[in-house]
Amino acid sequence: MNNASLIGIGVDVGGSHIACGGVDLATGELVAGTHFEADLDNKATKELVFEQWARPINQCLEKIGDAAIDGIGFGMPGAFNYRDGIALYSGNDKYENLYGVSVVDELPAYLSKKNISLRFINDATAFAVGTSWFGAAKGTSKAICMTLGTGFGSAFIHNGAPVAHGTGVPANGCLWDAPFQSGIADEYFSTRWFVNEFELRLGERVAGVKEMVAHPRQGVVEGVFKTFAENLVQFMAPWITGFQPEVIVIGGNISRAWNRIEPWLGKAFEHRGIHIRCLVSDQLEEAAIAGSARLLNDDFWTQIKDDLPSQ
């Protein structure tokens, strides 16, 4: 792979949506006019899934002019063998027809440029890498980045790279399956917690956080946000104390309600005597695309590849 070629393609793959764009590998900035996206059917056959993924990627390849492209980096949800490019989706309620499929070997057949390097990283980690490269965590030595949405994603960043072990770092650098209260973190810091908690308090079921925010019973809504923030601070306190980040950056769909969450977070941190900058990112997709493209830097890839989750 030739890092002198300064444009790479970053791809943010979600459960129902894919977005990609060309990225200047020297600056982390997206190349104007190269952003393409599409909706996805994650229940489709392997062949159809690959066709859906390839469509916006091929548009991006054509727009850039493939002679200038260094490779393609993917931010992918788990379960996935990121170093070897093998999908391990089973019981995830998404992409189960890709179980055991070598994406790195089979996807190129659907791309307009066949002989191109593909590299993979967790989608939440891609967001964190992009955020530390050019976003809210730029210029910091240590950061914890979280994505709050249908699931709870996280990454611990040190000098711009994700870390999977060390003082104050959980196994694989991920917090989603860490124990919390009567379950695991993913059950408390995701959309389904808001839906369930609101129903528990009011007896009504909403589709998600956006609908809850618009509900006329604002006293109940405020109480849910208060409990969420207090839970998050309770859960994060030992990790913050152990890792000593300079900043926490939060993204994901739930972060769109930041104005409802942030005041309670501040009070909960203050109550525990924790002084930490806590910022919201408005660049979730852009950061994930840039962070995925960062994999195309050979030095960066060599630094992180052996610590990437393999299951």
The per-residue pLDDT string of the chain (311 residues; one tens digit each, 9 = 90 and over) reads: 444 458 999 999 988 899 999 999 988 889 999 999 999 998 999 999 999 999 999 999 999 986 678 899 999 988 899 999 999 998 767 899 999 999 999 999 999 998 899 999 999 999 999 999 988 999 999 999 999 988 899 999 999 999 999 999 998 899 999 999 999 999 999 999 999 999 999 999 999 999 999 999 999 999 999 999 999 999 999 999 999 999 999 998 899 999 999 999 999 999 999 999 999 997 878 999 999 999 999 999 999 998 887 76
Same domain, 217 and 86: no
CB 146 within 8 A of CB 153: yes
Contacts of residue 113, Cβ cutoff 8 Å, sequence gap at least 6 = 61, 66, 69
Residue 261: give the domain boundaries: 138-282
pLDDT of residue 70: 83
Q: Are 252 and 270 in contact (CB under 8 A)?
A: no
Is residue 31 in some structural domain? yes
Residue 29 lies in a domain: yes
pLDDT at 5: 53
Q: Clarify whether residues 150 and 210 are in a common domain.
A: yes
**Predicted pLDDT of residue 138:** 92
> What is the pLDDT, as a whole number, of residue 1?
47
**Per-residue confidence (pLDDT) for residue 6, from 0 to 100:** 83
Given a contact cutoff of 8 angstroms between Cβ atoms, the answer to whether 190 and 150 are in contact is yes
Is 46 among the domain residues? yes
What does the pLDDT read at residue 90? Answer: 82
Verify that 230 and 297 share a domain, yes or no. Answer: no
- Residues 24, 113: one domain? yes
Q: Can you read off the two tokens belonging to residue 282?
A: 């408005």
CA dist list (Å): 250 to 102, 142, 196, 213: 32, 14, 22, 18
240 and 176 inside one domain: yes
| 233 and 298 belong to one structural domain | no
Which residue, 107, 127, 125, 118, is CA-closest to 55?
A: 107
Contacts of 217 (CB under 8 A, 6+ apart): 202
Residue 13 sits in a domain of what CATH number?
Answer: 3.30.420.40
Q: Is residue 216 part of a domain?
A: yes
Q: How many domains does the chain divide into? A: 2
H/E segment holding residue 59: helix 46-64
Same domain, residue pair 220 and 292? no
| Beta strands, E only, the chain | 7-13, 17-24, 36-39, 69-76, 80-81, 86-87, 118-122, 142-148, 152-158, 161-162, 179-180, 183-184, 247-251, 277-280
Q: Is residue 100 part of a domain?
A: yes
| 276 shares a domain with 147 | yes
> Is the same domain home to 265 and 291?
no
- Whether 132 is covered by a domain: the verdict is no
Quick count: other Cβ atoms within 10 Å of Cβ 175? 25
In this structure, the answer to whether residues 107 and 217 fall within a common structural domain is: no
Instruction: Determine, yes or no, domain membership for 1.
Output: no
- 180 and 247 fall within a common domain: yes
- Residue 106 inside a domain? The answer is yes
**C-beta separation of 176 from 190 below 8 A:** no
